[in-house]
Structure 1
Amino acid sequence: MHFKKISIYYFASVLILSSCSGKKEEEKTVYENTKFTKGNENTVHLTEKQIQSVGVSTTSIQDRNMEKLVRLNGKVEIAPSHISSVSSIMGGHIKSINVINGSHFSKGQVLAVVEDPQFIQLQQDYLVTKAQLEAARLNFNRQKDLNTSKASSDKTMQTAQADYSTLQATLKGLEEKLRIIGISAQGLHTGNIRSRINIYAPFSGFVSRISVNNGQYINPADTLFELINPAGLLLELKVFENDVNDVKTGQEILVYNNQKPDVKSNAKIVSVVPSIENGGSATAVAKLSSVNPEFVKGMYINAEVSISSRNTQGLPNEVIVSYENKNYVFEDLGKSNYKMIPVITGIADDQFTEILKADFLKNKKIVQKGAYSLLMMLKNKAE
């Protein structure tokens, strides 16, 4: 009994090994028996048995309506018109700083407080001039009445008028100086003179840089803060040469960053720079449709541009084979001969791939099923 079991196992093993060996020999025969046309390493000849094994079928170049999806990448930038340097109109010491780098602020918010005795002097000059102007007005009116009755000379009246006009101009100038440092002249009186002025935010945005510290003395020419207005956020995108003609001003695009690829924001291309750089790409500038606080200056971003359907020529995807970073198709020459031809591909979808400059493929039979097997045979030959 024991001997019989061993015999059965032995014969079963022999049959399995013979079957595997037969399959390997058959596959080996398909490739090793391949014949090649002399002088043309891109042409292969198949036997009838090989054709049956590979299952070769052909197709031809076809007219298709295809939609192109162009993928771009670039960085977030800010328009120079939306980057502002803030300084103090008059010099003084920094008393307090109310923001930090990167913080958000609202229009009219106090960014810093500056203190100096000259602010007191300016308010004092305004109040003194205002009082002098009132006295000059009364004197001018009196001299005008006296001159009417010839009780005073014309010269005296003219001097009074000049003094009044001079003080009017001086007061107006002082009022403007107070206005630009944030002090209202209308409500100013001796009881509310102050030594400090506020530096206000001119718009809502983010602090890009702080250039001062508490206690520092600043001059009017010194920059205190660099502020960014997010309304001026721009997306600078690289457009490769093959896609330049498809990307145009006014197109809607979807933008996302690498951290959140599933969260896409709407944007619109506002300009395309009409020149190709050394790297083989042009620059397209886009603007977000709405402010997105997650997009900050310097961030790397990606974009997708959907090009409207266009009529083009293409082939089924399985027709195209790739070798050493180049694309090829196989032409059926007849009599079981097949030639590998280089092609330039364009846009592609789930079923078809566009063939650029495809006129040379018209009226040619192109291998559809079996193209990859033919490529393997050529590679086997090269080896």
Structure 2
Amino acid sequence: MHFKILSIYSLALALVLSSCSGKKEEEKTVYENTKFTKNKENTVHLTEKQAQSVGITTTTIQDRNMEKLVRLNGKAEIAPSHISSLSSIMGGHIKSITVINGSHFSKGQVLAIVEDPQFIQLQQDYLVTKAQLEAARLNFNRQKDLNTSKASSDKTMQTAQADYSTLNATLKGLEEKLRIIGISVKGLNTGNIRSKINVYAPFTGFVSKILVNNGQYINPADTLFELINPAGLLLELKVFENDINDVKVGQEIVVYNNQNPDVKSNAKIVSIVPSIETGGSATAVARLSSVNSDFVKGMYINAEVNISSRNTQGLPNEAVVSFENKNYVFEDLGKSNYKMIPVTTGISDDQFTEVIKADFLKEKKIVQKGAYGLLMMLKNKAE
């Protein structure tokens, strides 16, 4: 009985060992006899079996005419020069507010109504001064006629002239004050004096903030509204370091927001901040070619920049491999030996990748098909 149990355990152990041995043989087949030149960890040697399995082909550096599409993202902001604080010229109580936050308004539209007795007094002063001026004008003309016939003294005429000039200046000042608060003196009489004035929109735009409420007393220095002029909308876009040399002031770009990605608008880059931020990007500032109400302050924006085609040197995409944020190609040294070479890449399309300063590769045979497999062999050997 004990002998049978022992036999069963022996059989199970043999099966486990056989399974482990099979896995090791399978792994050995994958990287069988992969050799690295001593002290040259960037060089790999393939056996004949591996070379047939990978099916390596080679190419050479080529002159290409390539275009580049740079994709950017960022946010819509408003230039400080196009954010306005609106106040009332004169103090008073807020009688009514005709807009809410986010409201669109047109230039000249009434945004609020302010009421105060001083508006009545100002109109009254104007009408009284106007009547006094007319009396002073008549008196001045009479004194001039009398002075001509020496029926009145020069002093009397000069006094009449001074009174007329003083009242005329006072009237002009009152007229200007009324104009500023939106009351026209044309047609103003004792029958249409009003206690309310309107606060008008100075341009067409949007209400960003309302800082008052009905019934509140305001002083002339108090801000009633913060207004946004959409003509000052700016698009602040991130440009990564690899693309910074391709994005220029004056370039036309296409922009769209995430809500309507199929609806695209034209814009132009107006400035580039000459510094690289912590995240490895610079900021390009663009302005819409025409005012578009679909874009508002704080909205996330996407943009596309088509870089003009240029003659450059490149390789097929599969010949360039990436590892730990660096790019490499493999040179065919002959006799199934391959050397990994770091390269700096530029623009790319669906077939080719630009290699910057590629003259040192001109006489070399570069692995095309199989480059990624060689990279994996080097990586696994290193691990």
TM-score, shorter chain, exceeding 0.5: yes
Deviations 1:227-271 (A, max 9, x none): 001111111112223322221111100111223222221101112
Deviation of the 1:25 alpha carbon: 7.1
Matched, 1:144 2:144: yes
Q: Name the structure 2 match of 1:226.
A: 226
SS in 2 for 1:120: helix
Deviations 1:195-232 (A, max 9, x none): 00000111111000001001000000000001001111
Q: Name the structure 1 match of 2:240.
A: 240
Return 27-36 or 87-96, whichever deviates more: 27-36
Return 326-335 or 193-202, whichever deviates more: 326-335
Deviations 1:99-157 (A, max 9, x none): 00111111111100000000000000000000000000000000000001000001000
Q: Name the structure 2 match of 1:362.
A: 362
Q: How large is the Cα RMSD of the aligned pairs?
A: 1.8
Q: Name the structure 2 match of 1:55.
A: 55
Q: 1:351 to 1:270 in 2, by over 3 A?
A: same
Q: Name the structure 1 match of 2:217.
A: 217
Deviation of the 1:273 alpha carbon: 2.5
Deviation of the 1:28 alpha carbon: 5.2
Q: Name the structure 1 match of 2:90.
A: 90
Deviation of the 1:26 alpha carbon: 8.4
For normalisation by structure 2, the TM-score amounts to 0.90
Distance in 1 between the 2:350 and 2:240 partners?
Answer: 23
SS in 2 for 1:36: coil
Identity of aligned residues (%): 89
Query: Where in structure 1 are there 5+ consecutive unaligned residues?
Result: 1-21
Deviation of the 1:322 alpha carbon: 2.1
Q: Name the structure 1 match of 2:304.
A: 304
Q: 1:27 to 1:53 in 2, by over 3 A?
A: farther
Deviation of the 1:172 alpha carbon: 0.4
- Report if aligned partners of 1:31, 1:380 keep a CA contact under 8 Å in 2: no
Return 119-128 or 369-378, whichever deviates more: 369-378
Matched, 1:124 2:128: no
Deviation of the 1:328 alpha carbon: 1.6
Distance in 1 between the 2:284 and 2:51 partners?
Answer: 50
Distance in 2 between the 1:80 and 1:373 partners?
Answer: 55
Return 283-292 or 258-267, whichever deviates more: 258-267
Q: Name the structure 1 match of 2:71.
A: 71
* Letter in structure 2 aligned against 1:342: P
Matched ranges for 1:145-224 at <5 A: 145-224=145-224
Deviations 1:166-220 (A, max 9, x none): 1110000000000000000111000000000000111111000001001000000
Distance in 1 between the 2:382 and 2:313 partners?
Answer: 32
Q: Name the structure 1 match of 2:10.
A: none
Q: Name the structure 2 match of 1:351.
A: 351
Distance in 2 between the 1:277 and 1:372 partners?
Answer: 33
Q: Name the structure 2 match of 1:5.
A: none
Distance in 2 between the 1:53 and 1:239 partners?
Answer: 42
Distance in 1 between the 2:68 and 2:359 partners?
Answer: 21
SS in 2 for 1:186: coil
Deviations 1:68-125 (A, max 9, x none): 1122222111112211111011100000001001111111111000000000000000
Distance in 2 between the 1:26 and 1:239 partners?
Answer: 47
Matched ranges for 1:248-327 at <5 A: 248-327=248-327
- Report if aligned partners of 1:97, 1:214 keep a CA contact under 8 Å in 2: yes
SS in 2 for 1:35: coil
For normalisation by structure 1, the TM-score amounts to 0.90
* Letter in structure 2 aligned against 1:297: K
Q: Name the structure 2 match of 1:16.
A: none
Q: Name the structure 2 match of 1:3.
A: none
Distance in 1 between the 2:368 and 2:361 partners?
Answer: 14
Query: Where in structure 2 are there 5+ consecutive unaligned residues?
Result: 1-21
Moved over 6 A (4+): 24-27
Q: Name the structure 2 match of 1:15.
A: none
* Letter in structure 1 aligned against 2:165: S
Q: Name the structure 2 match of 1:12.
A: none
Deviation of the 1:287 alpha carbon: 0.6
Distance in 1 between the 2:48 and 2:276 partners?
Answer: 52
Instruction: Give the number of equivalent residue pairs.
Output: 361
Deviation of the 1:27 alpha carbon: 8.6
* Letter in structure 2 aligned against 1:148: T
- Report if aligned partners of 1:321, 1:329 keep a CA contact under 8 Å in 2: yes
- Report if aligned partners of 1:107, 1:201 keep a CA contact under 8 Å in 2: yes
SS in 2 for 1:49: helix
Q: 1:373 to 1:282 in 2, by over 3 A?
A: closer
- Report if aligned partners of 1:67, 1:310 keep a CA contact under 8 Å in 2: yes
Distance in 2 between the 1:166 and 1:174 partners?
Answer: 12
